[in-house]
């Protein structure tokens, strides 16, 4: 937090801090937690598939349902606690407000067009374009959705009001799956762009 508030006054002198330490720590803890959640979640899914496919065992975690559930219900604490820290600091430091807002539909459309014609620059890593803003806002909201839908599947009696919000236990499973699919889709774009623009990856490791 302090690194970022300092950044405004010292940016001319020292190399600019793009991501303060708490963002980087939260990011990589989240990366590990979400990979474990997805990998174990796929194995859990395979025990009773919602659709006509299953996930290849080679890309799942836990090997059998019991093992996968142990991973899933352990990594959930890491995901949720880390997520709460991240959202709390994001709101408290004003980072979310500064980085993700304002974002309007017109800017998004302009930037999507620019992105599709490969004219959308990534030169200034400290400034997000409208497409980034929408994606990062979206993934934060999707993170909330996957946790809340997960809780409603885990505790459909104790938190039955929550489960009912999703249209019942079975519907909540589909919501949980859709939220996972959205994260995977985000990761495809996110990781591809991080590899295309390696300095963005470096910034998430070193902060600069």
Partner 1 sequence: MARIRKAVPGVDAKALIKDAGKLMPDASRRAFLRGAASLGALTMLTGCDIIDEDSAEGALRYVSRFNDRVQAFLFNPNKLAPTYTEADIKRPFPFNAYYDLDEAPTVDPATYKLEISGLADNKKPWTLDELHALPEVSQITRHVCVEGWSAIGSWQGAVLSDFLKRIGADTRARYLHFKCAEGYTETIDMPTALHPQTQMTFKFDNKILPRAYGFPMKIRIPTKLGFKQPKYVVAMEVTNVDRGGYWSNQGYNWFSGL
Residues that bind partner 1 (CB under 8 A): 28, 31-32, 35-36, 39, 43-45, 47-48, 60-71, 73-74, 77, 155-158, 160, 164, 169-170, 173
Nearer to partner 1, 82 or 129 (CB): 82
C-beta separation of 57 from 39 below 8 A: no
Nearer to partner 1, 11 or 158 (CB): 158
Give CA–CA dist 114/203, Å, rounded. Answer: 23
Nearer to partner 1, 26 or 130 (CB): 26
C-beta separation of 72 from 37 below 8 A: yes
Nearest distance from C-beta of residue 43 to partner 1, angstroms: 8
Nearer to partner 1, 96 or 177 (CB): 177
Structure tokens at 176: 């949980």
Contacts of 177 (CB under 8 A, 6+ apart): 45, 50
Nearest distance from C-beta of residue 72 to partner 1, angstroms: 10
Task: Extract long-range pairs of 1-6: CB within 8 Å, 24+ residues apart.
Answer: 1/89, 1/92, 1/93, 3/207, 4/93, 4/95, 5/93
Nearest distance from C-beta of residue 160 to partner 1, angstroms: 6
Nearest distance from C-beta of residue 178 to partner 1, angstroms: 15
Nearer to partner 1, 99 or 173 (CB): 173
Beta strands in 131-173 (DSSP E): none
Nearest distance from C-beta of residue 48 to partner 1, angstroms: 4
C-beta separation of 112 from 135 below 8 A: no
């Amino acid at each position: 937090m302090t690194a970022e508030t300092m950044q405004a006054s010292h940016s001319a002198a020292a190399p600019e801090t793009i991501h303060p330490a708490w963002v980087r720590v939260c990011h990589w803890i989240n990366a590990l937690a979400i990979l474990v959640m997805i990998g174990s979640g796929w194995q859990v899914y395979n025990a009773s598939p919602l659709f006509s496919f299953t996930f290849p065992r080679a890309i799942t975690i836990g090997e059998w349902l019991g093992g996968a559930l142990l991973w899933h219900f352990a990594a959930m604490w890491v995901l949720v606690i880390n997520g709460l820290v991240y959202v709390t600091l994001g709101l408290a430091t004003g980072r979310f407000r500064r980085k993700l807002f304002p974002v309007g539909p017109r800017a998004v459309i302009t930037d999507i067009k620019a992105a599709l014609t490969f004219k959308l620059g990534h030169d200034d890593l400290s400034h997000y374009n409208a497409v980034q803003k929408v994606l990062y806002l979206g993934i934060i909201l999707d993170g909330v959705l996957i946790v809340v839908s997960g809780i409603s599947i885990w505790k459909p009696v104790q938190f039955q009001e929550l489960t009912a919000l999703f249209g019942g236990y079975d519907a909540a499973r589909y919501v949980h799956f859709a939220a996972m699919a959205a994260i995977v889709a985000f990761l495809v774009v996110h990781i591809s762009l991080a590899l295309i623009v390696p300095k963005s990856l470096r910034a998430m490791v070193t902060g600069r």
